[in-house]
Structure 1
């Protein structure tokens, strides 16, 4: 029905903050399908924004901050930042919120363009 895409950068910087189970964390970060599944499980609430500090899994000593955004006519997408526990949460959350709003507006314009761009050839 749909294809899930995971775009990531800066994976190598996570190891500066993680201390436990580095080999398993590396395996998860290297496997996009597994990483998407982990993000989905940790952010499975109905909330549009969540901050998860999970000391029991591979993400020990890391924070998972996620912001859902509307994909017009399609559903919801998720933006996620994995970082250290000690960080500027206000700055990270406001940046994710702004990015989610801009992304939703751009996608709305894009899909509106696609819907209005039907030409019939006779």
Structure 2
């Protein structure tokens, strides 16, 4: 059976899947899928897989989390990303968004029921992925 990352990327999955260990720190299956799509939208599917394949297996979850931090940072600060948020003292916004990607459901229109959209107002970005 495909892991949640491969499922949303419509990619074949096997026992030696690169994405599966990267997503285990995210609690729900839906949140794993959303996080994967969010990162893949910023870095591209091939770029994401290339990044992950070039890192030792024990460091892949940390790499995925780092890419998620950067993707979230780019939505808030498109020029400087996560480094810009750290430099301007707004890291608390970034860390809460990337550490809790538990998205639960979507309603119609621009309202979302998730921790990203409700607390930080990035509803339009999230609706693209849901």
Q: Would you say same fold, with TM above 0.5?
A: no
The structure with the largest alpha-carbon Rg is: 1
Structure number with higher helix proportion: 2
Using the size of structure 2 for normalisation, the TM-score is 0.27
Using the size of structure 1 for normalisation, the TM-score is 0.28
